[in-house]
Amino acid sequence: MLALIAIDWFPLWLSLRVAAIATTGVLTLGTLVSYLLSHKCFRGKHLLDSLITLPLVLPPTVLGYYLLVIAGRASPFGHVYEAVFGQPLVFTWQAAVVAAFLHSAPIYIKAATAVLETVDYRFEWAAQSLGASEWRTFWLVTLPLAWRGLSSLAALSFARGLGDFGVTIMLAGNIPGRTQTLSVAIYDAVESGDGTLARVLVVVVSALALALLWPAGYLSRKTRPATAA
C-alpha cells in the first residue's frame, strides 16, 4: 500500500492532459476534414485520403523520424516555432500532444467520414432548400444526426491519445517529470526493473481504457437516427 503512495503519478496526469488537448484537436480539425471527405468532391481528394492513412501505415519510429526532420530544432518550422514560443517543439510535452494527435486523428477521420456519410443527404438538401447556409445545415442538422456516432469515436480517440509510444518517445523523449507519458513510463519501469511501478501503471491504463470503451460502445449501439416509419 505504501508503494502506491510513493509512486510518481505525473505520467498519468500528463497523459490525461495530452490526450485531452489532442482529442480536442482531433474533434475539431478531424471533423472538418471528415466533412470535406464525405460531402465534397475535389481534386486531390485521394491524395488527402492517402496522407491521412499514412500515420496508420508507417512504423511509428519512421513517422517519428520524419517529424524530427520536419519540426526539429534545425528545421525551418522548428526555427519559427522556437522564435514564437521561446522553446523548441521537440522534447517538450507539446510534442507529446502532436504525437497523440497523429496517433488518433487518422482513425477518427476515417470512421467519422463513414458516420457523416450515413446521415441521409435528403435532410441536408431539405435544409438547403429551406434557405439554410452550409454551416447552419452542418451545425443544426448533420451534426446532431451524427452525434452519437461521433461521440463514440471521441471516446475512442481519447483512449488512443492516452496510448501512443513510438512517436512520443522519438519526438518528446523520455524526460521524467517533463515528457514522460504513461506508456513511456511503463516502458521505462520495465527496462529499469521496477516491476511494481510497471504493474500499477498497467492496471491504471487498462482501467482507463475499459472505462472509455463502455460509453463508446453504448453510444455506437444506437447510432442510427430515428427514421420516418
Partner 1 sequence: MSVDARLIKRLPAVADATSFELNVHLRAEAGITAIFGPSGAGKTLILNCLGGFARPDEGRILVNDHLFFDAAAHVHLPPRERRCGYIFQDHALFPHMTIRENLRFAAASRAPANGRLNRRRRINDLLEAFELTDLAARKPMQLSGGQKQRAALARTLVNEPRLLLLDEPARGLDPRLREGFYDVLRRTRDQLLIPILLVTHDLEECFELADSICLIENGRFTQTGPRDVVFKRPASTDIARALGIYNILPAEIEALDPGRDTSRLTVFEFKLDGPYLPGRLIGDHGYLCVPISEFRIVPNDSQPAANRLSLRLTGQIPSSRGVRLQFEHGVAATASESEYRAIQGSDRLTLEIPRSVIYFVGK
The residue ranges that bind partner 1 (CB under 8 A) are 120, 122-123, 125-133, 136, 140-141, 144-145, 225-229
Smallest distance, partner 1 to C-beta of residue 117, A: 17
Smallest distance, partner 1 to C-beta of residue 131, A: 4
Per residue in 200-215, is it b (16+ CB within 10 Å) or e — as a string?
Answer: bbeebbeebeeebeee
Smallest distance, partner 1 to C-beta of residue 161, A: 29
Identify the residue whose cell numbers are 512504423.
59
CB of 144 or CB of 195, closer to partner 1: 144
Nine cell digits for residue 31: 471533423
3 state SS for 211-229? HHHHHHHHHHHCCCCCCCC
Smallest distance, partner 1 to C-beta of residue 45, A: 18
CB of 215 or CB of 225, closer to partner 1: 225
CB 26 within 8 A of CB 104: yes
Consecutive H or E run containing 155: helix 143-162
CB of 4 or CB of 129, closer to partner 1: 129
Smallest distance, partner 1 to C-beta of residue 154, A: 18
CB 205 within 8 A of CB 186: yes
CB of 124 or CB of 164, closer to partner 1: 124
In this structure, the number of other CB atoms found within 10 A of the CB of residue 28 comes to 10
CB of 56 or CB of 130, closer to partner 1: 130
CB of 79 or CB of 224, closer to partner 1: 224
Q: What is the DSSP string of 19-59?
A: HHHHHHHIIIIIHHHHHHHHH---TTHHHHHHHHHHHHHS-
Smallest distance, partner 1 to C-beta of residue 152, A: 17
